[in-house]
Amino acid sequence: MISFEHKNKPLLPRRLFFVRMARFAVFTLLLMLMSLGPGVLGYHYLNCLPWVDAVLNASMILTGMGPVDHLINEKAKWFASGYAIFSGVAFLSIVAVFLAPIVHRFLHKHHLDESEGTRANKNQ
């Protein structure tokens, strides 16, 4: 389980932060590939697209850009509908996972700066 440092702990050193970012980037890449896989297979087998075109269509749907190729049958249309709904949620979740360490660091640093200012005011 991945955990972040508590708000009372010091900010993670920059080198360890980059290690954390690398781990999150690898996890994000795996999530992206796992989300892309069903789309590629569906477009290839249900819409009879070559592999490259299936990857292109799945990538475009996953990122919210829209389909490239025409859907040839009803099965492909049903699949594309379901994959589009899944992709909308998956892409936003994948972006959130990738940005989590950055947002956490920003908020943690902001909290530390704020608490240092509070301590300085109490000492005066």
- Which residue ranges form the domains of the chain, and what is each CATH number? 35-119 (1.10.287.70)
Higher per-residue pLDDT: 106 or 87: 87
What pLDDT shows up at residue 107?
84
Report the distance separating Cα 44 and Cα 63, nearest Å: 18
Distances (CA, A) of 23 to 1, 20, 60, 63, 76: 12, 5, 25, 22, 36
pLDDT of 1: 57
| Cα(62)–Cα(22) distance, integer angstroms | 22
Distance (Å) of CA 90 to CA 9, 14, 26: 32, 29, 16
Give pLDDT tens digits for 55-94.
999 999 998 888 889 899 999 999 999 999 999 999 999 9
* Contact yes or no for 58/83 (Cβ under 8 A): yes
**pTM of the complete model:** 0.76
Residue 54 banded pLDDT, cuts 50, 70, 90: very high
- Specify the pLDDT at position 120: 47
CA dist., res. 62 & res. 79, Å (int): 13
